[in-house]
């Protein structure tokens, strides 16, 4: 049985809200290499495997590949493999015939059929069970599959793009992922770098998210200060771009840079950890004051470094008076501008030895 039409479905992924190419790829070398691959493989009707940590933008790249492909007028259908229970995933993928099982009161096309003459995006493909891996292999080899309860195969024209945050080579070693399927989906491979390896792209991403969320929430959020952007560039980003997006969204909604700085500094090394006396007593007000003082000290030091220890500029950036800034610098035990430069001018022991 061959398919001739495209079924409308809410499973289709919208393509009109992709970020600009300059934002997607930025200026970093790793993402420039990804961009070259995307532009070359988009027109080739072969499977693509996108690998990278969670939050690195694998779905964005899959959507871009579809948009640049000759099948862009067809649907892009996404399957989030871990989000669908294994018992239901086969019917969701391949559909079923009436009477195939209890509750199958009619014929239902699967997502593979809905992607006819378009792109099927399998997100987190490592979560597929072995039986489904075998059925997907048949689709990739022959361009056809069989609905649950059907007597004949259905032929489709579909381009398959897969994504995973796991190392499929290791999954093959332990026997959870089929080797033959891996070689079928890994015709063209893209490795997306984590955000910590493309720090120079963070300012552009921050600005893009800032403008997007200002429009979405109808807010008049001010531009994020340069020293806060520097703080973001220094952060390790375990959640990658998704984590950055959520932080900027929080800033736009709350309207305070503290929504960003408190979280970033709180997650970093040296986060406040109060000492608890042997008797277990720990006055909450005292501990809170200590935590606030320590957090303020780290924020002020970052601001001083970002503004080359120009305290008047820092006071304006932090929206506090110059006198209040001087008081907080003394309270936090931070060095003055002159002494900070004197310390930086002293060569380290290692440098003297070398």
What's the pLDDT tens digit per position in 199-243? Answer: 999 999 999 999 999 999 888 888 998 888 888 998 889 999 999
- What CATH class has 198-342? mainly alpha
265 touches 299 (CB < 8 A): yes
Average pLDDT over residues 286-312: 76
Would you say residue 274 has pLDDT above 60? no
Cα separation, 229 vs 237, whole angstroms: 13
Are 303 and 317 a contacting pair, CB within 8 Å?
Answer: yes
Closest CA to 95 of 115, 69, 75: 115
The stretch 35-50 carries a mean pLDDT of 94
Model confidence band, residue 271 (pLDDT cutoffs 50, 70, 90): very low
Q: How far apart are CA 103 and CA 93, in angstroms?
A: 17
Mean per-residue pLDDT of the chain = 83
**And the tokens for 303?**
């601001």
Does 87 have pLDDT greater than 60? yes
- Fold held by 21-193: Rossmann fold (3.40.50)
What is the Cα–Cα distance from 314 to 302, expressed in whole angstroms?
10
Q: d(Cα 87, Cα 155) in Å, to the nearest integer?
A: 24
Type and span of the H or E element at 291 = helix 284-306
Among candidate residues 96, 114, 102, the one with its CA nearest the CA of residue 151 = 96
- Contact by Cβ (8 Å): 69, 119: yes
The terminus-to-terminus CA distance of the chain in angstroms comes to 76
- The Cα–Cα gap between 303 and 330 comes to 15
Residue 162 DSSP symbol: E
What does the domain layout of the chain look like in residue ranges?
A: 21-193, 198-342
């Amino acid at each position: 049985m061959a398919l001739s039409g495209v079924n409308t479905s809410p499973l289709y992924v919208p393509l009109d809200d992709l970020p600009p190419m300059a934002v997607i790829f930025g200026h970093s070398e790793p993402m420039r290499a990804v961009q070259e691959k995307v532009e070359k493989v988009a027109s080739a009707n072969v499977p693509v495997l996108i690998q990278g940590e969670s939050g690195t933008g694998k779905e964005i790249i899959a959507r871009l590949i579809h948009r640049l492909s000759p099948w862009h007028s067809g649907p892009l259908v996404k399957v989030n493999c871990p989000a669908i229970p294994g018992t239901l995933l086969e019917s969701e993928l391949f559909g079923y015939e009436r009477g195939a099982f209890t509750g199958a009161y009619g014929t239902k096309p699967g997502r593979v059929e809905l992607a006819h003459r378009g792109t099927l995006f399998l997100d987190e493909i490592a979560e597929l069970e072995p039986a489904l891996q075998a059925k997907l292999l048949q689709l990739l080899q022959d361009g056809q599959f069989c609905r649950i309860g059907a007597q004949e195969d259905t032929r489709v024209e579909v381009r398959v793009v897969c994504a995973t945050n796991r190392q499929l080579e290791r999954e093959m070693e332990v026997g959870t992922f089929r080797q033959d399927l891996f070689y079928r989906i890994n015709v063209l491979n893209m490795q997306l770098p984590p955000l910590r390896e493309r720090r120079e792209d963070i300012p552009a991403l921050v600005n893009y998210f800032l403008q997007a969320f200002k429009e979405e929430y109808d807010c008049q959020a001010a531009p994020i200060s340069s020293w806060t952007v520097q703080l973001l560039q220094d952060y390790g980003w375990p959640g990658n771009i998704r984590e950055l997006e959520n932080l900027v969204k929080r800033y736009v909604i709350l309207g305070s840079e503290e929504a960003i700085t408190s979280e970033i500094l709180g997650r970093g090394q040296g986060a406040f950890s109060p000492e608890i006396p042997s008797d277990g007593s720990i006055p909450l007000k005292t501990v809170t004051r200590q935590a606030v003082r320590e957090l303020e000290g780290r924020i002020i030091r970052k601001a001083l470094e970002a503004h080359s220890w120009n305290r008047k500029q820092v006071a304006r950036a932090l929206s506090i008076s110059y006198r209040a800034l001087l008081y907080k610098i003394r309270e936090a035990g931070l060095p003055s501008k002159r002494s900070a430069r004197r310390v930086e001018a002293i060569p380290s022991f290692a440098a003297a030895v070398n």
